[in-house]
Amino acid sequence: MNTKKFASQADLEEKQVSFTKLSAHAYAYTAEGDPNTGVVIGDDAVLVIDTQATPVMAQDVIRRIREVTDKPIKYVVLSHYHAVRVLGASAYAPEQVIASQDTWDLIRERGEADKASEIGRFPRLFRNVESVPAGLTWPTITFSGRMTLWLGDLEVQILQPGRGHTKGDTIVWLPQEKVLFSGDLVEFDATPYAGDAYFQDWPRTLDALAALGPTALVPGRGAALQGEEQVAKGLAGTRAFVSELFSAVKAGAQAGKDLRSVYRETYEKLSPSYGGWVIFDHCMPFDVTRAYDEATKFPDPRIWTAERDQQMWQALEG
């Protein structure tokens, strides 16, 4: 395991983009495990969920939207604060950028550090990083718990179902069409990144998503899920990964093993089931480090900096 390139620095292959219509108003922009973008076309305006990593990458989303509607893109919703989700926002020139108050707090607390960290991890996604305006992407509207937007007669619920991938996780739910945009709370054939996660809360939050009864789901990464069976599979896969990883790490920590030993054992345990998922090798050092923190003495995630990323990687993979 000691020959791995840091994070996703070896991932330079272009991905095939799909733009899938899921209902009368909902579309999914997906790219073989790269971060997804959701699109809701209402009666009078367009809402975009997650923006891509840079304004240059966002232009491809806008091009797809313009193939199906000329309505103005008025709203951007941030499912959480991570740079690959938010730094493309300026391309849409939205009237409002909507996020949970917890996400706003995380941007204020660790947005700059996270930006530097993620740019170092994902060279292909941030290839046009010079197109990102100076500063951070700041919400113009924040909420706690839930809010509702009406795009004409279309009801768009913006909900904070609980902590999981981050403490600010936000979903978009179309109750009339039973379409759910989950952000990184759910992944499909892609490894959940859990460096800023709340492992013990995440399964309960997935229960809240399942309780909505979605018949289509756009995950944070991976193909759009259509039909109750596929949606259930996506929820179950994410739950299994998160639960199995935390259980393994917690057992190792309680046995008094150090982080490097726990990492090796957990990697070997999860690799047969999940090693084929996108960004598995990238995520595992971050995920196990956070799980070890949560199982020992850090209930809240510590801030990742570009320097901490490299130190952690060297300690576990060097």
pLDDT digits (tens, 9 = 90+) for 173-204: 999 999 999 999 999 999 999 999 999 999 99
Residue 42 near residue 72, CB atoms below 8 Å:
no
Closest of 202, 199, 167, 210 to residue 185, by C-alpha: 202
Q: Provide the terminal-to-terminal Cα distance of the chain, rounded to the nearest Å.
A: 9
Distance CA 301, CA 317 (A): 21
Stated length of the chain: 318
Structural domains of the chain sorted by starting position, each given as residue range(s) with its CATH number in brackets: 18-317 (3.60.15.10)
Which tokens is 159 given?
């909900």
pTM metric for this prediction: 0.95
315 pLDDT exceeds 80? yes
Give SS3 for 62.
helix
Complete DSSP assignment for 287-307? HHHHHHHHHTT-SSPPPP-HH
Average model confidence (pLDDT) across the chain: 95
Distances in Å between the Cα of 131 and the Cα atoms of 54, 58, 80, 91, 212 are 6, 11, 21, 9, 38
106 pLDDT exceeds 80? yes
Distance CA 283, CA 121 (A): 10
Residue 183 near residue 165, CB atoms below 8 Å:
yes
1 pLDDT exceeds 50? no
pLDDT digits (tens, 9 = 90+) for 257-288: 999 999 999 999 999 999 999 999 999 999 99
Lowest mean pLDDT among 11-15, 49-53, 91-95: 11-15
pLDDT of residue 4: 73
Torsion sign over Cα 26, 155, 149, 45: positive
Torsion sign over Cα 60, 65, 66, 71: negative
